[in-house]
């Protein structure tokens, strides 16, 4: 791609060719491989969503059969969670930026980094095979005994695909943990690290400790289905609730795996757009660790109505309320950072403000669900769907897009059209609220999730929701165009287009293969925008 | 720290660990064929934990590793207890306050 | 700097760098420490991986204690104990293999690695005969399971976990043996010495971990109700 701006030395320069990219050990190139892959899977997941929203325009189930509809929402979930959200920020932005932010030449294990991408692709191919050899209709949650004993879809194939993909996550997390511990540049103490690095570290802890459990769980499902072993079969005395415990032990931390990186991105953007250090740096850093820890203690809130004991429900309910606190700390601190900051109104701010509003709503509605009594009414309703989409899409995806824009000049060496970026952020915000706010109301009014037909009185809100999805789609398509356009026609980016602090802004855009001309030594705190006038830790 | 400073465990230590593990295995069996009532399981697990510790500390050389490595090892086992503990918190408390819907 | 394979100069000492030093590390020591930490983080994931199965074992054991004892009585304690001993021997030879590399003894590495592989293979052979016996006695869960056994459904749960736990463990053993064959080949070619033995050390960590899993599996699967007079046969 000789049109792409780079010096002879940049990571985009020689060696050229498919082989050089597919066998690369450079963390930056691997990040680009992931970027292309997850974008494709986002499109796939979005198509399944389109199928869902089109069906829900009318109260009757008249577009798809119920079997097909079951496959649509299942695959929407599986693809979006495992093949888009979980890898997105860590594998793209984390892979690209983490070594540079800490002053290292690469991650600790570059070959394992490449292996994690190949494992992701292998898992993706196998899961796509499941799509074409019978589909999957169990819900992304694979609940037993339906998935093991009754479903006539390609459950075993999909379970194997998810099993394999999990190892991609595990290897990424492993790499990040060792890198942050062992490869920081001289002077880069823990409390001088960018908060993005703290977030990546906390995410990696969750990846390491949680993913193996879902791996063995889907393996048990596959073994029960394929080898006729019995683990959850009620006729043998097996307990389907045991599956739910094992499944959610990972899948709840998984939602933090999906949102913590977004929070890390927002910390970086907030500091840069406010030209201020992040308010309460150490509180934000520790809150990432707190979310990582407490996030492992709350999974039972997915089992409130499963016949889990009431006592356990009480314990999980209290712990779930506790986990909201560190997230709230972050939200307050980001807001306090922007207060009286010298805010520059380029597109990054739009993504930040969008995140702050939507994540707050998503987080607060989580508290509704944490209260066991409310959850009995709201469980398995559209309220839950709205809640998690506010966090995952309003939060994580918005943060991912914000980060992609913010670091785009660094990664590609090109500037993009900022006006279009602002338009995109606004369209996404409007479209998102139009799509998902009605779903809170629908859920509260009693519309169940995963149904393709509904009572007539719910139609107006459903139509609004589908219309919103259309606006959202436009908002997401725009960056695909103007970002790609920028690769060919965008202005060449300077090393530090936003005037931000951080080691990544001290290297050229795009960076050279080994990141730094000479080994960096760090002697200032993070976000040192106003030296002498602000109190810093580190 | 250069590579030459890494401590080499003497062969004798390895052989002693080996013998201890074999003895503990025999002890595992001997304990199992006696009935200690409710203590059966804790005793079996305690012996297994002791054996595992010997492997970790001596064969795997963790006693010479950095404090960080030791923290990693302990965290791994602790996380199992989160899984076991909170799941059993459901199963063992079902008779206490009952189960929703019953 | 277009070429990525030329190692850079090392740090403060400025002495000639080891060709095994990867470019993003500044010393062999950092490389060994990072690799050891990396393998331990991976082993933590393995703890959680097996942990899921142990969780299922625990839940069903406390729910169906009699069936668990009955199932355990079908297992051959002698063979289980033999396998435990075999793995402990293999851990000794593995540790000695690593030590041989640390003291640059090529012969020691080769002998001990071969012994480790032999012990590992012995374990798998014994397991094979155990599985064969289960198959012949209709103790494999599924359509051919002997439903005349008392608590047959729950014993199927026991045996499902038995096969899953020992099967996943055996798969790890097979991977371990493969790993050892690779390390053995490198050792024969004289790749390891006190200057560089990282792959031997971290492969050894993996091997010991697989031994530790068996240390827990043996009493939990084979020795339940061993103190009871009645035996299932």
What is the per-residue pLDDT for C16? 64
What is the per-residue pLDDT for A2? 41
Dmax over CA atoms of chain A, in Å, equals 71
Cβ-based contacts of C216 with chain B (< 8 Å): 48, 52
pLDDT at B100 over 80: no
Shortest alpha-carbon distance between residue C1 and chain B (Å): 28
Q: Which of C8, C30, C5 is nearest to C198 (CA)?
A: C30
CB-based burial of residue A122 (10 Å sphere; 0-12 exposed, 13-18 middle, 19+ buried)?
Answer: middle
Residue pair B17/C42 in contact by the 8 Å Cβ criterion: no
Residue pair A145/A191 in contact by the 8 Å Cβ criterion: no
pLDDT at C55 over 70: yes
Could you say which residues of chain A have pLDDT below 70? Answer: 1-8
Shortest alpha-carbon distance between residue C52 and chain A (Å): 6
CB-based contact A513 C156, cutoff 8 Å: no
Residue pair A253/A209 in contact by the 8 Å Cβ criterion: yes
- What pTM, to 2 d.p., does this model score? 0.95
Residue pair C60/C161 in contact by the 8 Å Cβ criterion: yes
Three-class DSSP category at A225: helix
Cα(A472)–Cα(A428) distance, rounded to whole angstroms? 5
Among candidates B82, B83, B99 on the partner chain, residue whose Cβ is nearest the Cβ of A310 = B99
CB-based burial of residue A492 (10 Å sphere; 0-12 exposed, 13-18 middle, 19+ buried)?
Answer: exposed
Among candidates C38, C42, C160 on the partner chain, residue whose Cβ is nearest the Cβ of A230 = C160
CB-based contact B14 C99, cutoff 8 Å: yes
Q: How far is CA A506 from the centre of its chain?
A: 27
The model's pLDDT over A240-265, given as tens digits with 9 standing for 90+, comes to 999 999 999 999 999 999 999 999 99
Q: What is the 3-state secondary structure (H, E, C) of C159-195?
A: HHHHHHHHHHHHHHHHHHHHHHHHHHHHHHCCCCECC
Cα(A480)–Cα(B74) distance, rounded to whole angstroms? 46
Among candidates C33, C47, C52 on the partner chain, residue whose Cβ is nearest the Cβ of B76 = C47
Cα(A293)–Cα(A256) distance, rounded to whole angstroms? 10
Shortest alpha-carbon distance between residue A109 and chain B (Å): 17
DSSP string, chain C: ---SSSPPP-STT-PPPPTT--TT-S-HHHHHHHHHHHHHHHHHHHHHHHHHHHHHHHHHHHH-HHHHHHHHHTS-HHHHHHHHHHHHHHHHHHHHHHHHHHTT-HHHHHHHHHHHHHHHHHHHHHHHHHHHHHHHTT-SSSTTS-TTSTTHHHHHHHHHHHHHHHHHHHHHHHHHHHHHHHHHHHHHTT--BTTB-HHHHHHHHHHHHHHHHHHHHIIIII-TTTTSS----
Beta-carbon contacts below 8 Å between B and C:
139
What is the per-residue pLDDT for A537? 74
> Where residue C233 falls among pLDDT bands split at 50, 70, 90?
very low
pLDDT at B4 over 60: no
Beta-carbon contacts below 8 Å between A and C:
134
Residues 6+ apart with CB under 8 A from A114: A23, A24, A25, A30
Report the interhelical angle of A459-489 vs A418-445 (nearest 10°).
160
Cβ-based contacts of B94 with chain A (< 8 Å): 309
Cα(A462)–Cα(A453) distance, rounded to whole angstroms? 11
Shortest alpha-carbon distance between residue A296 and chain B (Å): 8
Cα(A360)–Cα(A433) distance, rounded to whole angstroms? 13
The model's pLDDT over A462-509, given as tens digits with 9 standing for 90+, comes to 999 999 999 999 999 999 999 999 999 999 999 999 999 999 999 999
The model's pLDDT over A488-497, given as tens digits with 9 standing for 90+, comes to 999 999 999 9
DSSP string, A397-435: IHHHHHHHHHHHHHHHSB---HHHHHHHHHHHHHHHHHH
Which position has the token pair 């490389």? C31
Beta bridge partners of A492: A414
The model's pLDDT over C113-168, given as tens digits with 9 standing for 90+, comes to 999 999 999 999 999 999 999 999 999 999 999 999 999 999 999 999 999 999 99
Q: What is the DSSP letter of A527?
A: T
pLDDT at B18 over 60: yes
User: CB neighbours (10 Å) of residue B11?
Assistant: 15
Q: Which of A393, A110, A98, A289 is nearest to C4 (CA)?
A: A110
* Residues C43-68, mean pLDDT to the nearest whole number: 97
């Amino acid at each position: 791609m000789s049109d792409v701006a780079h010096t002879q030395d940049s990571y985009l320069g020689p060696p050229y060719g498919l082989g050089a990219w597919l066998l690369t050990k450079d963390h930056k190139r691997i990040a680009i491989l992931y970027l292309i892959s997850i974008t494709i899977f986002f499109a796939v997941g979005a198509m399944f969503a389109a199928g869902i929203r089109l069906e829900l325009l009318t109260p009757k189930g008249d577009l798809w059969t119920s079997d097909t509809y079951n496959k649509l929402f299942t695959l929407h979930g599986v693809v979006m969670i495992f093949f888009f959200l979980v890898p997105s920020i860590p594998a793209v932005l984390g892979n690209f930026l983490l070594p540079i932010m800490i002053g290292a030449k690469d991650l600790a294990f570059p070959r394992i980094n490449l292996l994690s991408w190949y494992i992701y692709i292998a898992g993706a191919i196998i899961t796509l095979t499941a799509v074409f050899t019978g589909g999957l209709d169990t819900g992304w949650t694979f609940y037993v005994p339906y998935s093991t004993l009754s479903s006539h879809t390609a459950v075993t194939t999909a379970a194997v695909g998810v099993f394999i993909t999990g190892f991609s996550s595990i290897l990424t997390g492993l790499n990040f943990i060792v890198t942050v511990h062992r490869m920081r540049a001289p002077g880069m103490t823990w409390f001088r690290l960018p908060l993005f690095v703290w977030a990546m570290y906390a995410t990696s802890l969750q990846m390491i400790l949680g993913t193996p459990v879902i791996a063995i769980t889907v393996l048990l499902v596959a073994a029960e289905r394929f080898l006729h072993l019995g683990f959850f079969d009620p006729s043998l005395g097996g307990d389907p609730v045991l599956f739910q415990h094992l499944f959610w032990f990972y899948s709840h931390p998984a939602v933090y795996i999906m949102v913590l990186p977004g929070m890390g991105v927002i910390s970086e953007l907030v500091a840069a757009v406010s030209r201020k250090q992040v308010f309460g740096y150490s509180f934000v850093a520790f809150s990432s660790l707190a979310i990582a820890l407490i996030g492992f203690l709350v999974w039972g809130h997915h089992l409130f109505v499963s016949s889990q004991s009431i006592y356990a429900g009480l314990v999980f309910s209290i712990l779930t309320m506790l986990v909201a606190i560190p997230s709230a700390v972050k939200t307050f601190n980001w807001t306090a950072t922007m207060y009286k900051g010298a805010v520059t109104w380029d597109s990054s701010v739009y993504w930040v403000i969008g995140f702050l509003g939507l994540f707050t709503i998503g987080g607060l509605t989580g508290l509704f669900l944490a209260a066991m009594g409310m959850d009995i009414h709201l469980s398995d309703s559209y309220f839950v769907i709205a809640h998690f989409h506010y966090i995952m899409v309003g939060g994580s995806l918005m943060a991912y897009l914000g980060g992609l824009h913010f670091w785009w000049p660094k990664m590609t060496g090109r500037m993009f059209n900022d006006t279009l970026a602002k338009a995109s952020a606004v369209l996404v915000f409007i479209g998102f609220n139009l799509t998902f706010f009605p779903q809170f109301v629908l859920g509260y009014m009693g519309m169940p999730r995963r149904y393709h037909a509904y009572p007539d009185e719910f139609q107006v809100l459903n139509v609004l929701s589908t219309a919103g999805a259309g606006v959202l789609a436009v908002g997401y398509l725009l960056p695909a165009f103007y970002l790609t356009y920028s690769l060919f026609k965008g202005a060449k980016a300077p090393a530090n287009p936003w005037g931000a602090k951080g080691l990544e802004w001290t290297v050229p855009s795009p960076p050279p293969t080994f990141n730094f001309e000479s080994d960096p030594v760090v002697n200032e705190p993070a976000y040192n925008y106003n030296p002498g006038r602000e109190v810093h830790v580190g | 720290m250069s590579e030459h400073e890494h401590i080499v465990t003497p062969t004798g230590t390895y052989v002693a660990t080996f013998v201890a593990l074999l003895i503990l295995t025999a002890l595992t069996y001997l304990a199992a064929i006696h009935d200690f009532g409710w203590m059966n399981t804790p005793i079996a697990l305690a012996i297994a934990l002791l054996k595992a510790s010997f492997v970790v500390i001596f064969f795997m050389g963790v006693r010479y590793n950095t404090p960080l490595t030791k923290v990693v090892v302990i965290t791994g086992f602790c996380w199992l207890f989160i899984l076991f503990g909170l799941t059993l918190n459901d199963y063992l408390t079902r008779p206490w306050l009952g189960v929703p819907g019953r | 700097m277009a070429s990525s394979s030329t190692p850079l100069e090392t740090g403060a000492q400025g002495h000639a760098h080891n060709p095994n030093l990867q470019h993003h590390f500044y010393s062999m020591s950092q490389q060994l420490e990072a690799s050891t930490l990396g393998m331990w983080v991976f082993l933590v994931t393995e703890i959680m991986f097996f942990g899921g199965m142990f969780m299922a074992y625990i839940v069903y054991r406390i729910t169906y204690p009699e069936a668990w004892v009955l199932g355990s009585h079908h297992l051959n304690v002698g063979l289980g104990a033999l396998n435990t001993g075999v793995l402990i021997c293999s851990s000794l030879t593995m540790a000695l293999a690593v030590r041989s590399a640390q003291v640059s003894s090529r012969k020691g590495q080769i002998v001990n690695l071969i012994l480790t592989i032999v012990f590992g293979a012995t374990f798998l052979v014994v397991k094979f005969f155990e599985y064969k016996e289960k198959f012949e006695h209709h103790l494999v869960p599924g359509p051919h399971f002997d439903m005349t056994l008392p608590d047959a459904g729950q014993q199927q749960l026991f045996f499902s976990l038995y096969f899953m736990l020992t099967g996943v463990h055996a798969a790890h053993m097979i991977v371990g043996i493969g790993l050892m064959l690779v390390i053995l080949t490198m050792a024969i070619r004289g790749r390891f010495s006190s200057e560089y033995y990282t792959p031997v050390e971290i492969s050894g960590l993996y091997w010991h971990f697989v031994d530790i899993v068996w240390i827990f599996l043996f009493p939990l699967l084979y020795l339940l109700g061993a103190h009871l007079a009645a035996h299932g046969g």
